[in-house]
Homo-oligomer: A and B are copies of this chain.
Amino acid sequence: MAAAAAATAAPLDAAGVRLVTSLAPLELARLKWQPTLPKALQGNFAFVKGSASSSYADQAKIKSLFPHTFGQPSVQLVPLCDGANAPAGATPVSASETPVRLGIVLSGGPASGGHNVLTGVHDYLVNRVHKDSVLYGFLDGPSGLIDSKYIECTAELLAKFRNQGGFHCLGSGRTKIESAEHFAKTAAVCKRLQLDGLVIVGGDDSNTNAALIAEYFRATGHRTRCVGVPKTIDGDLRNEQVEMSFGFDSACKTFSEKVAALCADAVSARKTYHVCRLMGRTASHITLEVALQTHPNVALIGEEVQARGQGLSAVAKSIADIIATRALQNKHYGCIILPEGLVDFLPDVSALLGELNELIAAHTTLPANVTAHLSPASAALFSSLPEAIAQQLLGDRDPHGNVQVAKIESERLVAYLVEQELLRRKRLGTYRGNISIVTHFLGYEGRCGLPSNFDANYCYALGQTAAALLAAGCTGMLAAVQGLTLPPAQWSCSGLPLTHLMNMERRSGHDKPVIRKALVRLEDAPFQIFEHSREAWKYQDCYRNPGSIQYDGPFADEITMTLQLERGPEQDKQRKETNQAQQKAKEGKDIKSNL
């Protein structure tokens, strides 16, 4: 495949130019870097089943839609010490006498670490199951399944992608497997390749797809099984058991370094506000994590704005208030961050978008005099928007005809309205500072960089877990790795029934079973700490710089604040209890050694 080959076999033009056509030193070193496996995957392990599962909500409906896969117990990979027997009820796992054949798909936007899912699956198959096992990689996302486009992921091919960023070994895509024809074609290619299992690497939609494929395969008697792997830099595929989706760590670290530099730039030049939009369409996890890492003067969290029912002009006014207060302190600079999906959380913009979408649905194209067709509130809002944003609302549409919210440059929208508000105050004589706002968007550069050690380890473990689940006959599961605030060797691995994560939601006019998205919860530690700290950040310039991603030295294994705050205390407690129990067992005091 061209992309795969080209990425590594950089041609030499002539003697002497090796310098500029070979890989970079760090890239080469990362190719050879060895991730640390969780203990269960380092040696012998057994599968231990949990109790029967349910669904996040709408149990009866989900059960009726997934009759063959609903209610499965979760399974945990439990390490076995050498020579020890498996615990009661556990199934020890051993090498297979026959090779296992798997397929894998990378779905949706890229996220750092995807290639390590591939190497994790491959290495488990070849090293733990049977040396002649085979892994096929479908090209360009789910369309590769439908169109039967694939390559074999050999050890030789994967050697070029270990610990590297991007999804370019296979490519990715956003096609959904939805129609009966799609499912039939997917089944056909899996049958032709004699696949024992299929790994779907993706976000909530892709993993919903994985659940549907698993159900379809069981219902139609295909032997191919299907498991998912939780990917998304947005961090919104998450719940009690799924501590984090992969890619979030690397993306937030990349963005945090940039935002910290913008904060330092602001306070150095002392004359400009940087307004920076960060990726994160449906949830504001990235913005919250970057805020906790860098302490900007303002961070807008969509979920909070929504909970308060704040409209667009209220948001702009509140920012103008902060700028005005800082101006009185002779601070004519600052840094403001906001999530890509902010406009979706604003009730007034949300209402306007809804009305525009309805107008299009009714008229196919928008009528010439749009405002005449809008409610007074939406018409007023629309008229107040800058020309470029109004054009974005009227222009590009997604395949369903809807406004493409991700294309709205919300940082420019907010900057424009804040400027207008400050100009109004200048005219009234209530603001005397200068007005200089520079806008930024941080997104694409965080999706494909070299994965952090965390994401490299995490994805390798996720890939091995997914392969272990499929090799053991599981289907309709999400590969999960837990205990992520502990060192990687102490992580635990399991399979969670995908239906357990689902509920029914209204999508494009239909009730559909979907994996529930995790939004920022205002009652959880990350937001609470943010809320507690931000008054100081507003006025006192507590800028913090976590620096660039480190691969060596004492800071190479830093994890996100989100994980630390959400999981740290609990996992610290668990670790202490485990240590105490082990200590007591060793000392033979209270309990007998049961290993």
Residues of A within 8 A of B (CB): 2-3, 6-7, 10-11, 13-14, 17, 19-27, 29-30, 109-110, 140, 164-168, 171-173, 254, 257-258, 260-262, 264-265, 267-270, 274, 292-293, 295, 329-331, 388, 438, 440-441, 444-450, 529-530, 532-533, 535-536, 540-556, 558, 561, 564-565
Contact in complex: A561, B19 (CB < 8 Å): yes
Contact in complex: A543, B7 (CB < 8 Å): yes
Contact in complex: A555, B26 (CB < 8 Å): yes
Q: Of B165, B257, B545, which is within 8 A of A261 by CB? A: B165
Residue of B nearest to A539 (CB): B6
Contact in complex: A541, B6 (CB < 8 Å): yes
Contact in complex: A544, B261 (CB < 8 Å): no
Residue of B nearest to A552 (CB): B553
Copy total for this chain:
2
Query: Inside 8 A of A555's CB, which chain B residues have their CB?
Result: 25-26, 29, 552
Contact in complex: B168, A268 (CB < 8 Å): yes
Contact in complex: B449, A10 (CB < 8 Å): no
Query: Inside 8 A of A564's CB, which chain B residues have their CB?
Result: 19
Contact in complex: A11, B267 (CB < 8 Å): no
Q: Of B26, B166, B254, B262, which is within 8 A of A264 by CB? A: B166
**Given A268-B171, A543-B7, A544-B27: A532 and B17 interface contact (C-beta under 8 Å):** yes
Q: Of B110, B532, B556, which is within 8 A of A265 by CB? A: B110
Query: Inside 8 A of A20's CB, which chain B residues have their CB?
Result: 292, 295, 529-530, 533, 561
Query: Inside 8 A of A292's CB, which chain B residues have their CB?
Result: 20
Q: How far is the CB of A562 from chain B (nearest CB, A)?
A: 12
Q: Of B21, B109, B257, B529, which is within 8 A of A19 by CB? A: B529
Query: Inside 8 A of A540's CB, which chain B residues have their CB?
Result: 6, 10-11
Contact in complex: A21, B533 (CB < 8 Å): yes
Query: Inside 8 A of A19's CB, which chain B residues have their CB?
Result: 529, 561, 564-565
Q: Report Cα–Cα, A535/B13, bound state, in Å.
A: 9
Residue of B nearest to A536 (CB): B11
Residue of B nearest to A6 (CB): B541
Q: Report Cα–Cα, A450/B543, bound state, in Å.
A: 13
Q: Report Cα–Cα, A529/B564, bound state, in Å.
A: 46
Q: How far is the CB of A213 from chain B (nearest CB, A)?
A: 23
Excluding A24-B547, A268-B447, 12 further A-B contacts by CB distance (< 8 Å) are: A2-B329, A2-B330, A11-B542, A19-B561, A21-B295, A24-B293, A27-B544, A27-B545, A165-B261, A261-B448, A261-B449, A552-B556
Q: Report Cα–Cα, A292/B10, bound state, in Å.
A: 13
Q: How far is the CB of A326 from chain B (nearest CB, A)?
A: 11
Residue of B nearest to A529 (CB): B20
Query: Inside 8 A of A261's CB, which chain B residues have their CB?
Result: 165, 254, 444-449
Query: Inside 8 A of A295's CB, which chain B residues have their CB?
Result: 10, 20-21
Residue of B nearest to A565 (CB): B19
Residue of B nearest to A447 (CB): B265
5 A-B pairs with least C-beta separation: A552-B553, A166-B264, A264-B448, A548-B548, A26-B547
Q: Report Cα–Cα, A3/B166, bound state, in Å.
A: 39
Query: Inside 8 A of A25's CB, which chain B residues have their CB?
Result: 546, 554-555, 558
Q: Report Cα–Cα, A532/B19, bound state, in Å.
A: 12
Query: Inside 8 A of A542's CB, which chain B residues have their CB?
Result: 6, 10-11, 21
Q: Report Cα–Cα, A265/B165, bound state, in Å.
A: 9
Q: Report Cα–Cα, A547/B227, bound state, in Å.
A: 32
Q: Of B10, B269, B547, which is within 8 A of A551 by CB? A: B547
Q: Report Cα–Cα, A553/B453, bound state, in Å.
A: 14
Query: Inside 8 A of A541's CB, which chain B residues have their CB?
Result: 2-3, 6-7
Q: Report Cα–Cα, A165/B110, bound state, in Å.
A: 30
Q: Report Cα–Cα, A329/B293, bound state, in Å.
A: 43
Contact in complex: B13, A532 (CB < 8 Å): yes
Q: How far is the CB of A539 from chain B (nearest CB, A)?
A: 9
Q: How far is the CB of A295 from chain B (nearest CB, A)?
A: 7
Q: Report Cα–Cα, A20/B529, bound state, in Å.
A: 8
CB-defined A-B contacts under 8 Å, sample of 8: A2-B541, A17-B533, A24-B293, A25-B554, A168-B267, A262-B445, A265-B445, A548-B548
Contact in complex: B14, A448 (CB < 8 Å): no
Residue of B nearest to A441 (CB): B440
Q: Report Cα–Cα, A270/B110, bound state, in Å.
A: 11
Q: Report Cα–Cα, A11/B545, bound state, in Å.
A: 16
Q: Report Cα–Cα, A536/B18, bound state, in Å.
A: 13
Q: How far is the CB of A415 from chain B (nearest CB, A)?
A: 14
Q: Report Cα–Cα, A3/B541, bound state, in Å.
A: 7
Query: Inside 8 A of A388's CB, which chain B residues have their CB?
Result: 388
Q: How far is the CB of A418 from chain B (nearest CB, A)?
A: 18
Q: Report Cα–Cα, A133/B258, bound state, in Å.
A: 37
Query: Inside 8 A of A110's CB, which chain B residues have their CB?
Result: 264-265, 268-269
Query: Inside 8 A of A21's CB, which chain B residues have their CB?
Result: 295, 533, 536, 542, 544
Query: Inside 8 A of A550's CB, which chain B residues have their CB?
Result: 26, 548, 550-552
Contact in complex: B27, A546 (CB < 8 Å): yes
Q: Report Cα–Cα, A167/B268, bound state, in Å.
A: 5
Q: How far is the CB of A571 from chain B (nearest CB, A)?
A: 16
**Given A267-B7, A268-B110, A268-B166: A548 and B329 interface contact (C-beta under 8 Å):** no
Residue of B nearest to A558 (CB): B25
Q: How far is the CB of A381 from chain B (nearest CB, A)?
A: 22
